[in-house]
Amino acid sequence: MRNDPRRRELAAYPWSHEVATRFSDMDINRHLNNVAVAQLYEETRVRFNWELRGRCPELKPRYLVGRVEIDYLGEGLYPLPVTAAYGVASVGTSSFRVAMALFQRGACIGLCDTVMVHRGEAGPAPVPDALRAVLGEWALRP
């Protein structure tokens, strides 16, 4: 999945937004540092979740980050903004995989795969059918 060339195309993602970079995001080489890049992905997950909850308040999804993998493909530059993209890669029994990417100047500078675990009262729980259906609407595009 991570080596799939379509992951490097903005058009493969059903949701995206622009995020400003900050001076404090730079490393000594004037590139976006690895901590800042991780925060950009986190911000993207949170903004998508807010939008999802706004569109489907009846779902009241409860999920936690179970795993994050980041691939750095190119140098991110300050003060250029970043286009962060989001798509659902797959939905399992009690978790789903999110595929994200960062773009600057039209080029993919990084990929992030995150496993989100659906949470019940006592721990991991099956993804409800209603949430599964909504997540399917945000699937990566072929």
Question: Tens digits of per-residue pLDDT, 36-94?
Answer: 999 999 999 999 999 888 887 777 778 899 999 999 999 999 999 999 999 999 999 99
Domain ranges of the chain: 5-137
CATH of 5-137, one of 3.40.50.720, 3.10.129.10, 3.90.870.10, 3.40.50.800: 3.10.129.10
- pTM of the entire structure? 0.93
Q: What is the C-alpha to C-alpha distance for residues 114 and 45, in angstroms, rounded to an integer?
A: 9
pLDDT computed for residue 74 by the predictor: 94
How many Cβ atoms sit within 10 Å of the Cβ of residue 22?
12
Is 69 in contact with 100 (CB distance < 8 Å)?
A: no
pLDDT computed for residue 139 by the predictor: 97
